[in-house]
């Protein structure tokens, strides 16, 4: 399934096309801006413009040639999209770790081809040193299909420096400073100040702003099939110019709320149900779905507080949930946190 069209950012797109046509496009760019505004989709749009067989560096990608179709299907051999990954197993040596990262990225791209409106990476996903080595391994290859290679490194603030791997890190910095003539790097970040200063100094920064509400509304109608004007207006207001936020409310709000309700039902159901719920949590990735469940629980408790029912107990329950969320951000075992929180909430009923 092709990825959706790029919505908005016309000013940046025009400037980038002009830079390509005049031969002035920097070879290392950093797209920075609020989370969910479409930085990685913009980077893929740029990659399409660079490899398009008909545009030939003078216009946007045509969307029809084989190069464009392969980019839109996330299958172009010369467009390398690196996203943070979390490895489920560890390799015994450096080469094996690189192979595991390649497998994880391939699986992630396969999933995004099936579900192009993807969710943010888990809290533990990162660009580890094995990802850097994979970039370097692919960097030395000649383009397989076109004239250029494009490397898109999403959520670049998750590039993790690692003691003992300085050679690979320095090689990446060198590549950003002096990329091969046939290569363009596009990094994206919602936290550009979290990037290493040595990386910041080697890229040209491009600010990607929020979209107008009218553009987000068009996306909601065309891509999500929303028809109710009231629903669209509420969702667009909550998105605050970020299509990513719109997708988060579309894909995550219902499931998160249901999980929080299931947790509260388990709390009310007695010790067996409480501990059963806790044991059903994955023993890792506390900063992923488990944190989202706690956020849903907090929102439900806030609604109860606003309704004015047993305010003192609700406030105490919120304090317990906030403490649990803080522990989850420290990546404490979710099963243990859920069991303790369930006992605390049971004691308040």
Q: What does the pLDDT look like over 49-74, one tens digit per residue? A: 999 988 766 678 999 999 999 999 99
Same domain, 182 and 66: yes
Same domain, 117 and 225: no
Integer angstrom CA distances of residue 21 from 17, 186, 224, 238: 6, 18, 35, 38
- Domain presence at residue 2: no
pLDDT at 106: 94
Q: State how far the Cα of 219 lies from the Cα of 216, in Å rounded to an integer.
A: 5
pLDDT tops 70 at residue 349: no
Same domain, 338 and 268: yes
Q: State how far the Cα of 219 lies from the Cα of 242, in Å rounded to an integer.
A: 11
Please tell me what DSSP assigns to residue 2.
P
Question: How many independent structural domains does the chain possess?
Answer: 3
Tokens 């998160």 belong to which residue?
A: 256
pLDDT at 252: 47
- Domain presence at residue 341: yes
- Domain presence at residue 180: yes
Same domain, 288 and 223: no
Name which of 182, 224, 173, 163 is nearest 80 in CA terms: 182
CB 25 within 8 A of CB 181: no
Q: What angle do CA 10, 16, 22 make, to 5 degrees?
A: 135
- Domain presence at residue 3: no
Same domain, 50 and 126: yes
- Domain presence at residue 69: yes
CB 213 within 8 A of CB 237: yes
- Domain presence at residue 5: no
pLDDT tops 90 at residue 286: no
- Domain presence at residue 190: yes
Backbone angles phi, psi at 53, to 5 degrees: -75, -25
Residue 117's pLDDT band (cuts 50, 70, 90): confident
Q: State how far the Cα of 14 lies from the Cα of 12, in Å rounded to an integer.
A: 5
Q: What is the domain extent for residue 178?
A: 10-209
Name which of 2, 139, 161, 155 is nearest 68 in CA terms: 2
- The pLDDT tens digits for 206-222 are 999 999 999 999 999 99
CB 1 within 8 A of CB 116: yes
Same domain, 202 and 170: yes
Q: What angle do CA 5, 247, 4 make, to 5 degrees?
A: 15
Collapsed DSSP state (helix, strand, coil) of residue 127: strand
Tokens 């029912």 belong to which residue?
A: 309
Please provide the distance, in angstroms rounded to a whole number, between the alpha carbons at the two ends of the chain: 49
Please tell me what DSSP assigns to residue 157.
G
Q: Is the pTM of this model over 0.85?
A: no
Tell me the CB-side half-sphere exposure of residue 39, using CA atoms within 13 A. 28
Tokens 């980038």 belong to which residue?
A: 16
- The pLDDT tens digits for 309-342 are 677 888 898 889 888 888 887 768 888 999 999 9
| Stated length of the chain | 349
Same domain, 34 and 136: yes
pLDDT tops 90 at residue 290: no
CB 220 within 8 A of CB 214: no
% of the chain surpassing 90 pLDDT: 44
Q: What is the mean predicted confidence (pLDDT) over 277-292?
A: 73
Q: Residue 177's domain is classified under what CATH number?
A: 3.40.50.300
Same domain, 187 and 226: no
Please tell me what DSSP assigns to residue 6.
P
| Count of C-beta atoms within a 10 Å radius of residue 4 | 16
CB 152 within 8 A of CB 188: yes
* Between residues 290 and 273, the one the model is more confident about: 273
Sort strands 149-153 and 183-189 into parallel, antiparallel or unpaired.
parallel
- The pLDDT tens digits for 236-262 are 988 889 998 887 655 444 455 677 888
pLDDT at 328: 80
* Between residues 308 and 279, the one the model is more confident about: 279
Same domain, 281 and 331: yes
Same domain, 29 and 131: yes
Q: State how far the Cα of 68 lies from the Cα of 264, in Å rounded to an integer.
A: 49
Same domain, 200 and 327: no
Residue 203's pLDDT band (cuts 50, 70, 90): very high
- Domain presence at residue 243: yes
Integer angstrom CA distances of residue 289 from 122, 246, 293, 299: 8, 18, 6, 15
Same domain, 258 and 247: no
């Amino acid at each position: 399934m092709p990825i959706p069209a790029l919505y908005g950012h016309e000013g940046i797109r025009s400037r980038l096309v002009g830079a390509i046509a005049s031969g002035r496009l920097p070879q290392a760019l950093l797209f920075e801006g609020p989370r969910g505004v479409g930085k990685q989709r913009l980077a893929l749009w740029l990659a399409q413009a660079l490899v398009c067989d008909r545009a030939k560096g003078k216009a946007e990608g045509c969307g029809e040639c084989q190069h464009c179709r392969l980019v839109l299907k996330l299958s172009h051999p010369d467009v390398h999209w690196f996203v943070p990954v979390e490895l489920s197993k560890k390799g015994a040596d450096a080469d094996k770790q690189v192979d595991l990262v390649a497998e994880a990225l391939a699986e992630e791209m396969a999933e995004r081809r099936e579900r192009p409106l993807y969710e943010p990476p888990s809290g533990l996903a990162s660009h580890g040193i094995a990802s850097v080595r994979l970039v370097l391994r692919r960097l030395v290859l000649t383009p397989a299909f076109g004239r250029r290679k494009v490397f898109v490194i999403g959520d670049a603030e998750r590039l993790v420096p690692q003691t003992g791997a300085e050679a690979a890190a320095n090689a990446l910095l060198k590549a950003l400073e002096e990329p091969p003539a046939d290569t363009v790097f596009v990094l994206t970040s919602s936290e550009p100040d979290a990037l290493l200063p040595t990386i910041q100094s080697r890229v040209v920064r491009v600010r990607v702003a929020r979209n107008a509400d009218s553009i987000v509304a068009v996306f909601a109608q065309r891509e999500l099939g929303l028809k109710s004007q009231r629903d669209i207006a509420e969702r667009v207001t909550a998105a605050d110019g970020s299509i990513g936020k719109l997708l988060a409310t579309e894909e995550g709000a219902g499931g998160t709320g249901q999980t929080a309700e299931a947790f509260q039902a388990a709390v009310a159901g007695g010790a067996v149900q409480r501990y059963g719920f806790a044991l059903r949590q994955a023993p890792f990735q506390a900063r992923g779905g488990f944190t989202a469940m706690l956020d849903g629980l907090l929102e439900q408790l806030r609604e109860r507080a606003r309704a004015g029912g047993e305010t003192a107990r609700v406030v105490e329950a919120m304090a317990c949930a906030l403490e649990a969320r803080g522990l989850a951000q420290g990546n404490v075992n979710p099963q243990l946190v859920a069991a303790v929180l369930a006992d605390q909430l049971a004691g308040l009923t």
